Amino acid sequence: MMKSPTSYYDAEFGQMRMEDNHWTLAECAVLGDRRVPICVDFEHGQIGELSSLQREAIRQALALPPDVLRITASLVLQNYDVYRDMIGDESMPLLANPIQVWDQVTFSYIYVPPHVEYDRHIPTFELLAECSWDPEHGLEVRFCNGVADDADQIGETGR
């Protein structure tokens, strides 16, 4: 029986390793002062098969602007506020400055899905994270064309 490979070398992105059922790039994205791993699932499950959209999504994740956290804070804060109102939790503080929402978030990884399976026609990746206000579901921030356009609980994006 052939053993599945646990590493793959991509001409553009370098070494990738199989970790927790995802291929993880050696190079990390930088969000503020934090380094975040980038994970991909190859198109059709074929090792090494990255679509042009996936490649562009990876490039965009690697090229996030230094102020990406400030730019996306209001989107994440909106999710925080909706959740706060929904559960009526007085222990969740009102945040004076949207950037403070990131103090409640621990980044897990950036995920680049197979675009074919998801019927995506623009480069898309998701920032998956743990968040203090919903430890059960966590947080997913979706980026399309390198810009955050949705923040929701993991698995709930696109309602």
Question: How do residues 35-53 score in pLDDT, each as one tens digit?
Answer: 999 999 998 888 899 999 9
The boundaries of the domain holding residue 114 are 1-159
How far apart CA 14 and CA 121 sit, in angstroms, is: 25
To which residue do tokens 């706060």 refer?
84
Q: Nearest 5°: phi and psi at 102?
A: -70, -20
Task: Give how many domains the chain has, as a whole number.
Answer: 1
Report how far apart, in Å, the C-alpha atoms of 7 and of each of 14, 66, 111, 158 are. 10, 30, 18, 32
Q: pLDDT below 70 — which residues of the chain?
A: 1-3, 155-159
- Residue 69 has a CB neighbour count (10 Å cut-off) of 19
Q: H helices within the chain, ranges in order?
A: 52-62, 68-87
